[in-house]
């Protein structure tokens, strides 16, 4: 009898959760525009469907599979996807939270996929304005992305998405900042950024949320591309330089009717250098005056102190570009204006101290003796 009971519950446990088999116009969590792929351009759909409500999905999980959902009242103006697709997380409401299934299922495709949306047109409407053309291992490029020029304004844009392609072997992280964007500020817009090594590109999308397009020119976002601590080709060679090129791909700028504005884009090329070149070629000594780094030369302990800025990250690397010490400082900690590194165990010689604060980033040559 005991065995029969165990058998009964074993069979019960193996039964799949009953769910209607989807055969037509199925929802795939993260493919908001129903073109067969989850990617950054799906975020543009949120600009049209925001605050729409309809039947929730059951189960409301994020598994990349065809799910049955009853149709909602509206649909995307041109792509035609019913708004049920825009409710990517299945809670019955379209909100900016529907970005999360896009990130979870990023770049996944289903049998409906026939090709990427967006253009690769060449021109100078969308372009990079690097704030620093040169950086080194462990450093960052800060790159403003501009759309339109004073003599070539962009008229009636509602949303834009694009991918940025570069050599991902050098890149540790990419961050996007939308706080200064002529497309809109604060609650007027929603900005999305995505980077992971597997995607082999950084992707972003910005959409307005109020149904009203804007016209203008200038900065729409800033990208920070963080370079890995060690770059092969710069190790052991203080004179080496490597090109770091950036290209736009799959650009889609749309108006409030979802019509393609055929935005033309232009890439750029930056330079990666050995850290010692950065120190010698840029006047970072002046910048570093906001810091007290002492003693230098140092023996057992190196002290850092700032006047006002809060220290976020400290990395010490050797002349080979190898990180020998790294510390991220949680922002809730209060003593961020003072930090010390124990250097007693390190070989004597020249090092480079990289300090990131809430305001900027510094690189300082230090000597251990
Ligand atoms: Ca899609
Ligand atoms: Ca939702």
**Residues 80-130 pLDDT 10s:** 999 999 999 999 999 999 999 999 999 999 999 999 999 999 999 999 999
Going from the Cα of 24 to the center of ligand 2, the distance in angstroms, rounded, reads: 21
Q: What average pLDDT does the chain have?
A: 87
Q: In whole angstroms, what is the distance from residue 320 CA to residue 233 CA?
A: 10
Name the CA radius of gyration of the chain, rounded: 25
CA of 41 to the centre of ligand 2 (A): 17
For residue 197, give both structure tokens. Answer: 């090594």
Show Cβ contacts of residue 128 under 8 Å, excluding neighbours closer than 6 positions: 143, 144, 145, 146, 246, 266, 267, 268
Q: Could you tell me which of 212, 218, 223, 156 has the C-alpha nearest to residue 189?
A: 212
Report how far ligand 2's centroid is from the alpha carbon of 192 (Å): 16
Which pLDDT belongs to residue 196? 80
One domain for residues 234 and 192: yes
Q: Has residue 285 got a pLDDT over 50?
A: no
How remote is the CA of residue 219 from the centroid of ligand 1, in Å?
A: 26
Q: Which ligand is nearest to the CA of 81?
A: 1
Burial of residue 350 (number of CB atoms within 10 Å: 0-12, 13-18, 19+): middle
Note the pLDDT of residue 303: 86
Cβ neighbors of 359 (< 8 A, separation 6 or more) are 309
Confidence category of residue 351, pLDDT binned at 50, 70, 90: confident
pLDDT interval class at 360 (50, 70, 90) = low
Counting ligands in written order, the one closest to the CA of 36 is 1
The per-residue pLDDT for range 288-306, each reduced to its tens digit, is 456 678 888 899 999 888 7
85 CA → ligand 2 middle, Å: 9
Identify whether residues 65 and 135 lie together within a single domain: no
Compute the distance from residue 37 Cα to the ligand 2 centre, in Å: 18
Q: How many Å lie between the centroid of ligand 1 and the Cα of residue 199?
A: 15
- Which residues have CB under 8 Å from 275's CB, separation 6+? 136, 137, 138, 139, 317, 319, 321, 352, 363
4: pLDDT strictly greater than 50: no
* Boundaries of domain holding 342: 283-368
Q: Looking at the domain assignment, is residue 278 inside a domain?
A: no
How confident is the model over 140-168, as a mean pLDDT? 96
CA distance 50 to 154: 24
Per the structure, the count of domains in the chain is: 3
Q: Could you report the per-residue pLDDT of 227-264, keeping only the tens digit for each?
A: 988 777 776 677 778 889 999 999 999 999 999 999 99
Measured at the CA of 316, the angle between CA 310 and CA 319, to 5 degrees, comes to 145
Instruction: Report residue 292: phi and psi, to 5°.
Output: -105, 120
Span from the CA of 78 to the centroid of ligand 1 (angstroms): 14
Ligand 1: centre distance to CA 114 (Å): 11
Please give the pLDDT value at position 11: 44
Q: What percent of the chain has pLDDT over 70?
A: 86
> Do residues 270 and 170 make contact, with C-beta atoms less than 8 angstroms apart?
no
Q: Does residue 79 surpass a pLDDT of 60? A: yes
* Ligand nearest to the backbone CA of 51: 2
Digit-coded pLDDT (tens) for 6-49: 444 444 444 444 455 798 999 999 999 999 999 999 999 999 99
**Six-digit token string for 302:** 């190196």
Q: How far is the CA of 240 from the centre of ligand 2 (A)?
A: 50
- Tell me whether residue 185 is in a domain: yes
pLDDT band at 336 (very low <50, low <70, confident <90, very high): low
Domain boundary among 254, 273, 292: 273
Looking at the structure, tell me whether residues 209 and 335 fall in a common domain: no
What tokens were used for 334?
A: 């209060």
Same domain, 198 and 179: yes
Co-location of 95 and 199 in the same domain: no
């Amino acid at each position: 009898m005991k065995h029969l009971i165990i058998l009964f519950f074993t069979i019960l446990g193996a039964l799949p959760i009953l769910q209607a088999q989807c055969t037509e116009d199925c929802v795939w969590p993260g493919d908001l525009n129903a073109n067969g792929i989850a990617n950054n351009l799906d975020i543009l759909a949120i600009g049209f469907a925001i605050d729409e409500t309809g039947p929730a999905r059951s189960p409301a999980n994020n598994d990349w599979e065809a799910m049955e959902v009853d149709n909602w009242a509206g649909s995307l103006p041109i792509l035609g996807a019913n708004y049920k697709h825009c409710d990517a997380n299945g809670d019955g409401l379209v909100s900016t939270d529907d970005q999360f299934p896009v990130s979870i299922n990023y770049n996944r495709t289903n049998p409906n996929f026939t090709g990427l949306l967006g253009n690769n047109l060449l021109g100078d409407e969308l372009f990079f304005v690097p704030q620093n053309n040169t950086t080194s291992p462990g450093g960052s490029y800060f790159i403003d992305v501009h759309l339109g020029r004073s003599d070539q304004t962009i008229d009636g844009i509602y949303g834009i998405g694009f991918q940025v392609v570069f050599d991902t072997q050098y890149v540790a992280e990419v961050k996007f900042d939308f706080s200064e964007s002529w497309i809109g500020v604060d609650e007027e817009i929603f900005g999305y950024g995505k980077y992971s090594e597997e995607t082999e590109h950084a992707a972003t999308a910005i959409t307005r949320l109020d149904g009203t397009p804007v016209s203008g020119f200038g900065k729409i976002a800033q990208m920070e591309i963080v370079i890995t601590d060690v770059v092969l080709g710069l190790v052991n060679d203080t004179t080496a330089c490597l090109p770091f090129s950036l290209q736009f791909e799959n650009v889609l700028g749309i108006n409030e009717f979802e019509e393609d504005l055929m935005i033309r884009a232009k890439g750029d090329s930056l330079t990666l250098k050995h850290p010692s070149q950065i120190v010698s070629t840029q006047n970072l000594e002046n910048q570093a005056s906001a810091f007290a780094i002492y003693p230098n030369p140092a023996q057992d302990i190196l002290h850092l102190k700032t006047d006002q800025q809060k220290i976020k990250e400290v990395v010490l690397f050797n002349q080979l570009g190898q990180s020998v010490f790294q510390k991220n400082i949680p922002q809730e900690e209060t003593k961020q204006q003072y930090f010390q590194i124990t250097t007693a165990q390190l070989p004597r010689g020249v090092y480079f101290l990289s300090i990131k604060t809430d305001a900027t980033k510094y690189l300082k040559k230090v000597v251990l003796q």
